[in-house]
């Protein structure tokens, strides 16, 4: 288990233009627990402190205060030598791959094993084995400059896994890759997580990555964890604005521009008003023919304005924005609220306004 306990990081930065030094809080009192074997995502906009946070796990960045535990060992209490030994069991991959340009693929994967004083014979066997696992066994004699981005990251992954770590840290590992390569690299990470059971901690600014492979997610904003939990929960009921913004990358629940001039009414019981609401559903609820139920049971019309259905791992989830009109719209709304759905009334719009499409 990885545990961060009140971790803060403060940098002294010079004031632009001035000579005075200012404190910059990259991380503020971050506490997290990451279960063994999980794929844990940390998402945030650029500058949110993600990079600092992941570097606090293997102490490439030393927290200004707070404690970091990896598998029961308090990293923040270790001396230099012990810290180096602990790092050998924490693999790390990088956005820019950071491979040694003057070593072949073989030499790169062998590098952490040389540092750990493995025998040459064992290194040879292990490099072959791990290269096979990540699918680059035919590239061992090549140099990194001869590889594509996806292949380079596979070498990076192989290097990070060579010494049989318990934890793999991923620093925006797919951000430099095209969407298709990203998918295959993420697939590889999930595969490895399944096969080897190691804990993966990744940082990203792309919700897509979280959606694709993570079990749990923490949302980081201005150095603080503002939201945390299983991916499905955070996806279907985001609490914070930042989360919603980041989620908009994958769910697109924002109203299209053509609805921008909708006239919202204050009064919910205005006879002229249609109800505009957002439904989020996941799991079995997604399979129910909810809209046709609604129309059959009540005297209402339903207009779908925005619809988005996707999967997180094997669980379907979706978001709809619908407009309900008709005499029984309030009953229909109550019915929806009773179902196992997340319903959010966006507002009431004037029916007479001919804006619905």
Partner 1 sequence: MSQDLTILLTRGLVDTAYMVGASSAISFLAGLPLGVILSITAPGGILPNRPVYGALSLLVNVGRSIPFIILMVAIIPLTRILVGTSIGTEAAIVPLSVSAIPFVGRVVESALREIDDGIIEAALSMGATPLEIIRKVLLPEALPAIISGLTLTVISLIGYSAMAGAIGGGGLGDIAIRYGYQRFMPDVMLATVIALVLMVQFFQFAGDSLSAKTRHDKKG
Q: How far is the CB of 103 from partner 1 (least distance, A)?
A: 7
Q: Which stretch binds partner 1 (CB under 8 A): 107-115, 269-277, 278-286, 302-310?
A: 107-115
Token pair for residue 253? 């629940």
Positions 144 through 163 that interact with partner 1 (CB under 8 A) = 144-146, 159, 163
Closest CA to 152 of 115, 117, 104, 222: 104
Q: How far is the CB of 127 from partner 1 (least distance, A)?
A: 14
Containing H/E element for 143? Answer: none
Q: Give the binding-site size for partner 1 (rule: CB under 8 A).
A: 31
CA angle, corner 68, sides to 66 and 73, nearest 5? 135
Q: Which stretch binds partner 1 (CB under 8 A): 1-9, 82-90, 236-244, 319-327?
A: 82-90
71 part of the interface to partner 1, by CB under 8 A: no
Q: How far is the CB of 126 from partner 1 (least distance, A)?
A: 14
3-state secondary structure of 233: helix
Among 64, 98, 315, 355, interactor with partner 1 by CB under 8 A:
98
3-state secondary structure of 87: helix
DSSP state of 175: T
Closest CA to 185 of 285, 79, 283, 95: 95
Q: Which stretch binds partner 1 (CB under 8 A): 40-48, 62-70, 87-95, 194-202?
A: 87-95
x/- mask, partner 1, residues 164-193, rule CB under 8 A, reads -----x------------------------
58 vs 151, which CB is nearer to partner 1? 58
238 part of the interface to partner 1, by CB under 8 A: no
88 part of the interface to partner 1, by CB under 8 A: yes
Q: How far apart are CA 2 and CA 74, in angstroms?
A: 10
35 part of the interface to partner 1, by CB under 8 A: no
Closest CA to 214 of 223, 226, 206, 225: 206
Q: How far is the CB of 245 from partner 1 (least distance, A)?
A: 29
Closest CA to 57 of 218, 201, 154: 201
x/- mask, partner 1, residues 109-128, rule CB under 8 A, reads --xx-xxx------------
Edge to edge, what strands does the sheet with 73-74 contain?
Answer: 21-34, 2-14, 65-70, 73-74
Residue 135: C-alpha distances to residues 65, 140, 155 (Å):
41, 11, 9
Among 1, 10, 60, 286, interactor with partner 1 by CB under 8 A:
60
Q: Which stretch binds partner 1 (CB under 8 A): 98-106, 131-139, 219-227, 264-272?
A: 98-106
Beta carbons of 150 and 177 less than 8 angstroms apart: yes
69 vs 94, which CB is nearer to partner 1? 94
Q: How far apart are CA 58 and CA 251, in angstroms?
A: 33
Footprint of partner 1 (CB under 8 A): 58, 60, 83-88, 90-92, 94, 96, 98-103, 111-112, 114-116, 143-146, 159, 163, 169
């Amino acid at each position: 288990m990885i545990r961060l306990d009140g971790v803060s990081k403060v940098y002294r930065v010079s004031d632009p233009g001035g000579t005075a030094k200012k404190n910059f809080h990259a991380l503020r009192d971050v506490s997290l627990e990451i279960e063994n074997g999980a794929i844990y995502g940390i998402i945030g906009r650029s500058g949110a402190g993600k990079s600092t946070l992941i570097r606090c796990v293997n102490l490439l960045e030393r927290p200004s205060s707070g404690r970091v535990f990896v598998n029961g060992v308090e990293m923040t209490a270790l001396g230099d030598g012990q810290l180096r030994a602990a790092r050998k069991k924490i693999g790390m991959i990088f956005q820019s791959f950071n491979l040694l340009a003057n070593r072949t693929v073989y030499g790169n994967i062998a590098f952490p094993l040389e540092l750990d004083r493995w025998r040459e014979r064992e290194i040879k066997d292990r490099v072959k084995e791990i290269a096979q696992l990540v699918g680059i066994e035919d590239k061992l004699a090549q140099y990194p400059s001869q590889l594509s981005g996806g292949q380079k990251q596979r070498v990076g992954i192989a290097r990070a896994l060579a010494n049989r770590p318990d934890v793999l840290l991923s620093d925006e590992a797919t951000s430099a890759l095209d969407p298709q390569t990203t998918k295959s690299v993420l697939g590889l990470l999930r595969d490895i997580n399944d096969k080897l059971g190691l804990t993966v901690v990744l940082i990203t600014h792309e919700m897509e990555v979280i959606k694709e492979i993570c079990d749990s997610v923490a949302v980081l904003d201005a150095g603080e964890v503002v939201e945390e939990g299983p991916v499905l929960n955070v996806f279907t009921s985001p609490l914070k604005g930042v989360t919603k913004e980041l989620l908009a990358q994958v769910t697109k629940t924002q109203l299209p521009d053509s609805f921008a001039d909708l006239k919202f009414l204050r009064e919910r019981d205005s006879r002229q008003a249609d109800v505009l609401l957002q439904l989020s559903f996941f799991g079995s609820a997604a399979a129910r023919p909810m809209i046709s139920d609604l129309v059959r049971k009540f005297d209402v019309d339903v207009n779908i304005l925005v619809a988005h259905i996707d999967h997180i791992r094997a669980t379907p989830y979706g978001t709809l924005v619908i407009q309900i009109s008709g005499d029984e719209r309030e009953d229909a709304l109550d019915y929806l609220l009773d179902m196992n759905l997340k319903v959010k009334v966006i507002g009431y719009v004037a029916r007479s306004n001919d804006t619905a499409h």
